[in-house]
Amino acid sequence: MKQIVLLFLMLSCLINIQAQQTQTDYFLGNRTYCKKPDTERFNQIYPLGIKSVQKNLYLGAAFKIFAEVIETNQSFCDAYFWAGYTLRLSNMENEAVVFYHAADSLAQNRSIEFKQNLATLAMKVGRMTFSRKKFQEMTEYFPESPEGYYGVGLTSLFIEDYKNGLENINIAENKYGTPNKDAQCLKAVLLTLNEKYEEAIPYFEKVESNFKKDDTFNGCYALSLQQVGIKNTDEKLMKKSKKYYERVQNKAGLPDLIKNTLKT
pLDDT in tens, the chain (264 residues): 444 444 455 545 554 555 455 457 888 888 999 999 999 999 999 999 999 999 999 999 999 999 999 999 999 999 999 999 999 999 999 999 999 999 999 999 999 999 999 999 999 999 999 999 999 999 999 999 999 999 999 999 889 999 999 999 999 999 999 999 999 999 999 999 999 999 999 999 999 998 988 888 999 999 999 999 999 999 999 999 999 999 999 888 887 888 888 876
Q: List phi, psi (to 5°) of 144.
A: -75, -20
Q: What is the pLDDT of residue 7?
A: 45
Q: What is the pLDDT of residue 33?
A: 96
Count of helices and strands (H, E) across the chain: 15, 0
Q: List phi, psi (to 5°) of 220.
A: -70, -40
Using CA atoms, how far residue 138 sits from 99, 110, 151, in Å, is 18, 10, 9
Given a contact cutoff of 8 angstroms between Cβ atoms, the answer to whether 106 and 74 are in contact is no
Which residue type, as a one-letter code, is found at position 197? Y
> Could you count the other beta carbons within 10 Å of the beta carbon of residue 53?
22
What pTM was estimated for this model as a whole?
0.90
Q: What is the pLDDT of residue 19?
A: 45
How far apart (Å, rounded) are the C-alpha atoms in residues 189 and 235? Answer: 23
Three-state SS at 67 = helix
Q: List phi, psi (to 5°) of 262.
A: -70, -20
Q: What is the pLDDT of residue 29?
A: 84
How far apart (Å, rounded) are the C-alpha atoms in residues 263 and 212? Answer: 21
Q: What is the pLDDT of residue 263?
A: 75
Percentage of the chain modeled with pLDDT above 90? 78
Q: What is the pLDDT of residue 16?
A: 57
Sign, Cα dihedral of 5, 6, 8, 12: positive
Given a contact cutoff of 8 angstroms between Cβ atoms, the answer to whether 123 and 10 are in contact is yes
Three-state SS at 96 = helix
Q: What is the pLDDT of residue 27?
A: 87
Dihedral angle at the C-alpha atoms of 120, 63, 70, 29, nearest 10 degrees?
A: -70
